[in-house]
Amino acid sequence: MVPLDSWSVVTVFVASVVVGRALRLSLPKAFFDVSVGVLVWAISAWAASSGLEALKYSLAQTLLFLAAIVCYVVVLGALASRGAAHARAGARPRPNVYLLALIAVGWASGLSAGWLRPYLSEALPVLVLAVIAATGLTMHSALSVASLRRGGVVALKAVAVTLASAVLAGLTVAALLGLSPHYALSVTLGLGWYSFAGSFVAQFLGPEQGFTAFLVNILREQLTFALVPVISRFRVSAISLGGATTMDNTLPVYAYVYGDDAVVPSIVHGFLLTFLVPFLEALVVRAV
């Protein structure tokens, strides 16, 4: 399997930007949109094929965690977005039928064809890196020192909103359901990094708790695909919702919805959170 981590994603993106600038390459928008669509379908199918039977155990917890995360992200992100530029002209603050349809088809594919899972597991890292490369080749002309400055401010606001909303959501659900605050925070502080959060929480708190952490964070990623076009008016909220995935899996969605301006803040936001998640998870889990 091709390794997929922070460094590989950043390396591919930077290389594609350099190549695009040097050779003056620019991919057609239709090619970019199709590549995003394939990735969204593949991720959705992989998520569905991971086994929804276990959802029965933690359905109430999962839905409440997700609702709390989305509510806090939207409210705090909207406050942080005041006075800032919103979605680009043409970015529609309503559900994107193209992406929603692909999510639905992906889930149907995963549920009806479980045999796809091993193939998708092997293909996903390649697809992600391919779309990251396509993003760099498509957006390289928009990257500049000025865009990095603008993007850095938005990214830091989004990081602050992401962390604050995760803590508030965890404590809220813990209070409502009578859960351990450490367990609830370990779920929300996964920040969309389901492959790490699920296994790490399971190791310290048990398999059922680990599965809930996995499920909440993978569905957070799925909701990002569906909700970013809906909340696109508030860019900080939209970026925060994606958590650590904004530098890889969900990055193309931000480029698709917002255009060039969203690429830099999305990558910086996801990159910072990817390094923070292991430390935050260790802090709350080992404090039990």
Which tokens go with 151?
A: 């993007």
The answer to whether residue 1 is domain-embedded is no
The answer to whether residue 98 is domain-embedded is yes
Which tokens go with 236?
A: 């900080």
The answer to whether residue 267 is domain-embedded is yes
Distance CA 92, CA 125 (A): 29
What contacts 115, CB < 8 A, 6 or more positions away?
A: none
Three-state DSSP state, 82 = coil
What is the per-residue pLDDT across 74-104, written as a single tens digit (0 to 9) for each?
A: 999 999 876 544 444 344 444 567 777 887 8
| Amino acid at position 264, single letter | V
Q: Which of 271, 212, 281, 213 is nearest to 245 (CA)?
A: 271
Give the model's pLDDT for residue 90: 43
The answer to whether residue 243 is domain-embedded is yes
Residue predicted with more confidence, 66 or 287: 66
The answer to whether residue 141 is domain-embedded is yes
The answer to whether residue 181 is domain-embedded is yes
Work out the average pLDDT over 211-217.
84
CATH of the domain at 24: 1.20.1530
Task: Give me the number of domains the chain comprises.
Answer: 1
The answer to whether residue 42 is domain-embedded is yes
Residue whose tokens read 């952490």: 213
Rg (CA), the chain: 18
pTM for this structure? 0.74
Distance CA 84, CA 159 (A): 16
Distance CA 75, CA 137 (A): 34
Work out the average pLDDT over 18-40.
81
Distance CA 235, CA 161 (A): 11
Confidence of residue 60 (pLDDT cuts 50, 70, 90): confident
Which residue range is the domain that position 213 belongs to?
A: 6-285
Give the model's pLDDT for residue 98: 76
The answer to whether residue 227 is domain-embedded is yes
